[in-house]
Amino acid sequence: MHGVIYGLWFLTLVLSACSKQVEVVPRAWDDPGLIDLHRPWEVASPASQHLVDDAVTEVLERGAKVQGLQSIVIVKNGKLIGEKYYEGTAEDLRHMRSCTKTIVSLLAGIAIEQKQLGSVDQPIFPDLSPVQVQAKDTFFQSIRLKHLLTMTGGFHWDESDFTRWIDAPNQFIDILGHDLDHPPGTYFNYCSPSSHLLGAIISKAAGATLDSYAQTQLFDYLGIEHSSWLQDHEGYQFGAFGLQLTTRDMAKIGYLLIQQGHNGIIQVVPATYIDRCVKNILTKPQLLGPLQLGFGYSIWTTTSIHRTGYLLWGYGGNLSIVSHLSTWS
């Protein structure tokens, strides 16, 4: 898995080194203004976006050597300048895995803006939780939405238990049936059940299934017409994984972050919420090769000697690398 990330990040460095643009004060990109994300991607040549055509071709060819990589879509300045499918076609839906968590975070921001949820400081017990548990731990009453978003709920959890958790009769009772390991907000522990709980809370507050809410409140504004989303035994879409989109549509999610939640016509996700999404909450960065990873509202932030950006990261090589240089999915 790490090899996929290293490979893709290396390819972004190759591409950035091949820009034709020469200026006294270097810029990361040519700001094209807001792009209408409801429309299909406009296809353009790399040369029209100040990149060498052969360089992009080389990057796409090198992608075939990155183990586990199924497809690449490259967007620069709102233009689709390259794509390659090593398995399947552009129309195929692909499992986003944990990139689903970022989508759920965006839906939380929308639900807060629409007053279906109060704020990120709203407690999840007793009103929001899809199930009620008789926990001895009084800290349960202190868990707030922001703790689910930032993986700081303090739950008794090890991510290696993911498969066992998925097979449990009820995923909510499974995670909420233990006392907390840490007071909420004090300790980061990557926890897939946090996102699943958040997704169910959004669904309950909105009075709609998570997939239908995502379609009407997010996907429709991005021109995303086809998706699929797995659900648990209780009929809730999994908030931690299970969403399937095309690679092109996943790139639109990344570009929505660049545009601060604006689809080019209207504000879909509040810009203030996007700012909070990408604000690192980790006091000590996690290292992944040359990258320093931070974490915000269910989205990784990346820092290297070359640039900063965002990383939508799903198991098995599902990545959307977002920077003002380009968007990769």
CA angle 7, 11, 12 (to 5 degrees): 120
The per-residue pLDDT for 56 is 84
- CA 124 vs CA 101, 130, 131: distances in Å: 18, 9, 10
Closest to 30 measured CA to CA, from 2, 3, 55, 51: 51
The per-residue pLDDT for 17 is 40
pLDDT digits (tens, 9 = 90+) for 125-169: 878 888 776 655 678 889 999 999 999 999 999 999 999 999 999
Residue 236 in contact with residue 202, Cβ under 8 Å?
no
Joined tokens for residue 328? 């990769």
Which residues, other chains included, contact 23 with Cβ-Cβ below 8 Å and sequence gap of 6+? none
The per-residue pLDDT for 52 is 80
| Higher local confidence (pLDDT), 237 or 309 | 237
Residue with tokens 């707030």: 144
Give dist(CA 68, CA 46) in Å, integer: 25
Joined tokens for residue 329? 């999915």
Residue with tokens 């091949």: 18
pLDDT digits (tens, 9 = 90+) for 267-309: 999 999 999 998 988 877 666 666 678 899 998 887 654 556 7
- Residue 223 CB neighbour total at 10 angstroms: 16
Q: For strand 228-229 and strand 42-43, is the pairing parallel, antiparallel, or unpaired?
A: unpaired
Kindly report the pTM of this predicted structure: 0.88
Give dist(CA 166, CA 314) in Å, integer: 16
Q: Residue 105's pLDDT band (boundaries 50, 70, 90)?
A: very high
Give dist(CA 71, CA 69) in Å, integer: 6
Give me the chain's average pLDDT, please. Answer: 83
The per-residue pLDDT for 23 is 32
- Residue 1 CB neighbour total at 10 angstroms: 14
The per-residue pLDDT for 294 is 85
Residue 149 in contact with residue 297, Cβ under 8 Å?
yes
The per-residue pLDDT for 25 is 32
Residue with tokens 């759920």: 104
Q: Residue 237's pLDDT band (boundaries 50, 70, 90)?
A: very high
pLDDT digits (tens, 9 = 90+) for 19-75: 333 333 333 445 568 999 999 999 999 899 887 888 888 888 888 887 777 888 888
Residue 111 in contact with residue 202, Cβ under 8 Å?
yes
The per-residue pLDDT for 104 is 97
Give dist(CA 239, CA 202) in Å, integer: 10
CA angle 216, 104, 136 (to 5 degrees): 130
Using only the alpha carbons of the chain, give its radius of gyration.
Answer: 20
Is the peptide bond between 40 and the residue preceding it cis, with omega within 30 degrees of 0? no
Give dist(CA 76, CA 83) in Å, integer: 12
pLDDT digits (tens, 9 = 90+) for 204-214: 999 999 999 99
CA angle 289, 80, 40 (to 5 degrees): 125
| Higher local confidence (pLDDT), 96 or 149 | 149
List, as one string, the DSSP characters of 166-204: HTSS-HHHHHHTS--SS-TTS-----HHHHHHHHHHHHH
